[in-house]
Amino acid sequence: MVGLANRLINRPILATIHTEALNHNLNRVRELAPESKTWSVIKAKAYGHTLQAALQGLGSSDGFALLDLEDAQWLRDNGWKGRILLLEGLFHQDELAIAQSLSCDLAVHCESQVQWLESFKGSLTKPLNIFLKMNSGMNRLGFTPAEYRTAFHRLHAAGYPMHHMTHFANADQIDGLPSVGGQVDCFNETIEGLQPVPSSLGNSAAILWHRNALGDWVRPGIMLYGISPTGVYADIVRSDLQAVMQLRSEIIDIQNLKKGDHVGYGGRFQAPEDMRVGVVACGYADGYPRQAQDGTPLWVEGGGPDGESIVCPLAGQVSMDMLTIDLREAPNAKIGSIVELWGSEVPVDDVAQMSGTIGYELVCALAPRVPVKIL
């Protein structure tokens, strides 16, 4: 592998997005939910992976689900002719004409959105598909069961093509309440007797573990990016998903410590013996979690005793632009050695667990200053 420092940038840090892995993960969704169409969720710029990579790697999706009209416009400008679902609907009434011009489907979750659509029905020039959101127990967005049927009848009467939708709170847990079963029962009881229309229920966790609770449209998000809804990397292995984002940098300096020396701000790490620490060009200003604890894994290419690649532990507080790693088991690590922060060698879920967070947050928080390469 050519050293990253050979690229024409100042700092040797690079996020590589593997679109073949995106396509592989989408195919896994299809294998797990063969009777459902797929909304590939690409909100937050495809969970930090870029819309360009999503369009390239997920282009065979039945539709894209996102939040912002700006992102919908980008998809249309870049050739996407399929369906687009705005997962939180519209935020202002004057966005309706824009959504119609972009042929967006709309999630509808509150009374004001219903009123806007009723007022807009005389201006319709093409169908606006509605995904009516039911609050079946998560208590975030959506109509309560007592409100849902009235909202459905009003929008159906206004001539909008209707779909049912809800979202699971605990599909990634065994004992969490509300349970998937409880939410499905609530959903089915509420829509009983309404005109039969397509439904959308299953998120990533439901696709993996509750395949009796999917609906006509599934909405995979985090699993498309090779990250576990539970934060447990073993789930990814068992599900045959592939990591999509690979964040790598280099060792830019090596310090030789004496026993008792401290490392970094606050001196959190103290050398238990004479040892080497490597300084890596990556810090919290790049999106690496400042709260990462000593022992968080990092992969060093060719650093092992026999020149093999090896995983080394974080040693000391993460700084804005740098972090330090324990090289006691990596005698061949040197300045210029490539280090993987997360990716195919170091699961982002493992980094997240050592940082008190979830993989979602880490990939979404990749800093704009980090260059991105799409393969």
CATH number at residue 350: 2.40.37.10
29, 177: one domain? yes
23, 166: one domain? yes
CATH number at residue 152: 3.20.20.10
- Confidence bin at 5 (pLDDT 50/70/90): very low
The pLDDT value recorded for residue 271 is 97
224, 352: one domain? no
43, 107: one domain? yes
The per-residue pLDDT of the chain, averaged, comes to: 95
pTM, two decimal places: 0.93
Indicate the number of domains in the chain.
2
150, 296: one domain? no
Average pLDDT over residues 346-367: 96
Torsion, CA 149, CA 155, CA 157, CA 163, rounded to 10: -70
- Catalytic residue selected from 121, 259, 265, 373: 265
266, 134: one domain? no
210, 256: one domain? no
Distances (CA, A) of 112 to 117, 142, 147, 162: 9, 12, 13, 17
Exposure letters 59-94 (e unless 16+ CB within 10 A, then b):
bebebbbbbebebbebbeeeebeebbbbbbbbeeee
DSSP string, 210-244: -TTS-BSEE---GGGGT--SSS-HHHHHHTT----
Q: What span, in angstroms and rounded, lies between the C-alpha atoms of 275 and 182?
A: 56
Query: Which of 208, 223, 238 is a domain's end point?
Result: 238
Q: What span, in angstroms and rounded, lies between the C-alpha atoms of 40 and 37?
A: 10
- Comparing CA positions, the residue from 211, 209, 207 lying closest to residue 38 is 207
Domain span at residue 220 reads 19-238
pLDDT in tens, 97-121: 999 999 999 999 999 999 999 999 9
43 assigned to active site? yes
268, 165: one domain? no
pLDDT in tens, 51-87: 999 999 999 999 999 999 999 999 999 999 999 999 9
62, 91: one domain? yes
- Confidence bin at 9 (pLDDT 50/70/90): low
Residue bearing tokens 């039911």? 134
Query: Which of 188, 220, 238 is a domain's end point?
Result: 238
Q: Which parts of the chain fold into alpha helices (H)? A: 19-32, 43-47, 51-57, 69-77, 96-101, 111-120, 145-157, 180-191, 204-209, 233-238, 348-353, 359-364
152, 130: one domain? yes
Which one is predicted more confidently, 140 or 3?
A: 140
- Catalytic residue selected from 37, 43, 81, 160: 43
373 assigned to active site? no
Which one is predicted more confidently, 7 or 144?
A: 144
Query: Which of 181, 215, 238 is a domain's end point?
Result: 238
200, 305: one domain? no
261, 219: one domain? no
| Residue 366 confidence (pLDDT) above 80 | yes
